Structure 1
Amino acid sequence: MKRLVDTDLGTTRLSVRDSFGLDSDLEVMAFAEPGEHVPEADPNYHFDPDTTLAILAGFSCNRRVLIQGMHGTGKSTHIEQVAARLNWPCIRVNLDGHISRLDLVGRDAIVLRDGRQVTEFKEGILPWALQRPMALVLDEYDAGRPEVMFVLQRILERDGYFTLLDQNRVIAPHSGFRLFATANSVGLGDSSGLYYGVQRLNHAQLDRWNIVATLNYLSPETEIEIVAVQVPELNHPEGRRLIAAMVEVAALTRAGFQSGDLSTLMSPRTLISWAENLRIFQSPARAFRYAFLNKCDASEQDVVAEYFQRCFDMDLGTTAADPLRGHGDGI
């Protein structure tokens, strides 16, 4: 790994070509040593080239990066794994319905000082992160409440100054502060009903995101490799043939979703859960029911069962102990 030494902040500079195998001359700052809040690196993680390059541009050039895509594609994990290889501290905040403006900005709190109760201002996550070398990831960005979203408006600017009205204080962002977000939609809401709670985004705010990347589902070959690594008990020729059939079922559910036959689909996360369930229950059919079928609408389960039968040459009602019926002798 090529490291170009930088003298300030205890950092180095990495060649993207050498460190991530991408066809780019981009160099990105990295911290020489991991510290608190640096995610744990997964040595087997598979990086999508386009998404990785967008994230690296965010780290290198202080660009605001929004990653959009279907559930389970690994949007947040992608950012974390890039940060892990850069030794860059990274925290994730889920913009669910319980996150309020006070959680982001801060509030007055009663604390003990020298045995006496006093009121003092406690900073929220935004001013805290802004003043540190920190990658802040806003998960479920398109599900945030309107009053929360407008708090974020100012820090989306390039300089990103943040005003604490309660303190009459303006916070300048640290030179190592970076801002990312993930979303299932790209600000237009969700007409499919798949992502309940998704909001239409203010386009003046959406326009402030410098880079918008889309992370799609992976190729079948890549998904096979990922499942084989995550569930090593299946990482042999017979097991890989089983995984290939599982990936084929997942692909059929995604095609069925796109054509309107299904209202849900199998994500890579669900695919890995199916493989892990197989390790427990020793039956592809039973493991599939627990991982995916029981999440489907009752009116659609016959369609899903047909997908399974087509790929496994096995009725979904079969719960025999043989885990590889039609695919070999066992895990």
Structure 2
Amino acid sequence: MFKNFSVRDTFDQPKAPPQFTVEGFADDTNPLIPKRDDLYVFDRIKLRDILAFAADPMGDAMWIGGPYGAGKTSIVTQTLSRLNWPTMCFSWHKRREFADLVGHQAIVGGQTKFVHGPLPVCMTHGYALVINEADRGDAGELVGLNDILEGSPLVIPETNEVIHAHPKFRLFVTANSMGSGDASGLYATSIQVLDPAFLDRFRFISVGYLEPDIEESILERVAPKVPQAIRENMIKVANDIRRLFLGGEDGGSELSLTMSTRSLVRWARLTVAFKGAPNAVGFALERAFSNRAEPEQRQAIHQIAADVFGDLWEAN
């Protein structure tokens, strides 16, 4: 049922000692295993944190905080995909309740039946549960997880079931904050301050945007026909946009959207697809990212690109 995976070979980590392994699932056919992205490049330190938690959570859950578009969910799902670890993702928001995690009554075959939600399914089978945007909902609802994180069983009154957590059950949470509110001002209208007792049950890691050399290696893989100078300028543009989105120490964000690695990859790929268009780089940037910005911000984004690319802006 279970299998040991070499960290060096499974995650393309040549510096990892060959004897380092982590236990995952032998069955690679479960439909809940996250889809693998073979182009994904792991941050070594963050990977170490995820693998250590997967190997032995020590009674904790894992909280992954960081800005929008930094890849908080993908580092979890791409790690688990290589371990054949079935995973359920659940997006949290202000209308969510703890009961949504547990299940609901539904009509099945003409009869009313209680249908398990992601929490009992994952607890029963030893799957991973990823709750995304955990700081965007009612702070009191997630407190329902406290007893589960303490090792108590899940009791479902509708069915009188008592579900004990499988030894392989893992709970991950992603959020734009670390649970204590938004000091940056970027998410002032949506981020909630969560219960300290709930937060005390987590280990925390922070995920930022990828380093330029990692993003360059990704772009080289996905769009090798784009000249290196163009790829490097794309990454500079992305990081300038991110800096304006994040603002300074006192907040002051100048852009309301940021460029994720996903958007950056889309930009590079569309540049190849639209290579016959006048200023293919700018044409692709609109379709990959900037067309969803307000007119003033769209103009600012294209001015950033023009400044970074210089003479190359109109020439490609």
When the two structures are superposed, what TM-score results if normalisation uses the length of structure 1? 0.80
For 2:194, the aligned partner's letter is: L
Provide the C-alpha distance between the structure 2 equivalents of 1:118 and 1:303, rounded to a whole number of angstroms.
57
- Kept after mapping to 2: 8 A contact 1:143/1:197: yes
Q: Which runs of 5+ in 2 are unaligned?
A: none
Q: Counterparts of 1:227-306 in structure 2 under 5 Å? A: 227-234=219-226, 239-257=227-245, 258-259=247-248, 260=252, 262-263=254-255, 264-282=257-275, 283-306=280-303
Provide structure 1 residue ranges, at least 5 long, that are not aligned to the other structure.
Answer: 1-9, 325-331
CA distance in 1 between partners of 2:253 and 2:300 (Å): 8
Relative distance call for 1:43 and 1:302 in structure 2 (3 A) is closer
Deviations 1:265-287 (A, max 9, x none): 32212211222332333311122
Of the three residues 18, 23, 28, the one matched with 2:22 is 28
Letter in 1 for 2:137: G
CA contact (8 A) 2:118 2:129 kept: no
Residue type of the partner of 2:233? A
Q: Distance in 2 between matches of 1:261 and 1:182?
A: 22
The equivalent of 1:201 in structure 2 is 194
Residue type at the aligned position of 2:157: L
Alignment length, in residue pairs? 300
Alignment match, 2:35: 40
Stretch deviating more after TM superposition (178-187 or 257-266): 257-266
**Which runs of structure 2 are paired with 1:11-90 in the superposition (5 Å)?**
11-16=2-7, 19-20=10-11, 21=13, 23=16, 27-36=21-30, 37-62=32-57, 63-90=60-87
Q: Cα–Cα, structure 1 residues 17 and 301, in superposed 2: closer, same or farther, change >3 Å?
A: closer
8 Å CA contact 1:253, 1:262 repeated in 2: no
Q: Confirm or deny: 8 A CA contact 1:308 1:315 kept in the other structure.
A: no
**Counterpart Cα distance in 1 of 2:181 and 2:288:** 28
8 Å contact kept, 1:273–1:291: yes
**How far did 1:111 drift?**
3.3
**What CA distance in whole angstroms lies between the structure 2 residues aligned with 1:194 and 1:252?**
20
2 CA distance for matches of 1:18 and 1:312?
38
Separation in 1 of the partners of 2:100 and 2:198?
20
- Which structure is richer in relative contact order (CA contacts within 8 A, separation 6 or more)? 2
SS of equivalent to 1:223: helix
Label 1:270 to 1:173 Cα distance change in 2 as closer, same or farther (>3 A). same
Alignment correspondent of 1:309? 306
2:97 maps to amino acid: S
Which residue is equivalent to 2:173?
A: 181
Percent identity over the alignment is 32
Q: How far does the alpha carbon of each residue in 1:184-230 deviate from its partner, in whole angstroms, 9 at most, with x for none?
A: 11113335244753222112111111x21111111111111112222
Does the alignment pair 1:164 with 2:120? Answer: no
Distance 1:313 1:18, change over 3 A: closer
Q: Quote the offset at 1:172 in angstroms.
A: 0.5
Alpha carbons of 1:292 and 1:315: their partners in 2 closer, same or farther (altered >3 Å)? Answer: farther
What are the superposed Cα offsets for residues 68-121 of structure 1, whole Å, 9 maximum, x if unpaired?
A: 111222211111111121111112111134543332122333433xxxx54332
Which residue type is aligned with residue 266 of structure 2?
A: S
Structure 2 CA distance for aligned equivalents of residues 277 and 93 of structure 1:
31
- Greater shift after overlay, 80-89 or 95-104? 95-104
Report 1:80-229 matches (<5 A): 80-112=77-109, 117-157=110-150, 159-190=151-182, 191-194=184-187, 197-209=190-202, 211-229=203-221
Q: Check the 8 A contact 1:308/1:314 in 2, yes or no.
A: no
Secondary structure of 2:213's counterpart equals helix
Counterparts of 1:203 and 1:86, CA distance in 2: 32
Check conservation: 2:101, 2:119, Cα contact below 8 A.
Answer: yes
- Residue aligned with 2:114, SS: strand
Distance 1:14 1:296 in 2: 43
C-alpha spacing 1:231/1:171, structure 2 compared with 1 (3 Å):
same
| Pairwise CA distance, 1:244 | 0.5
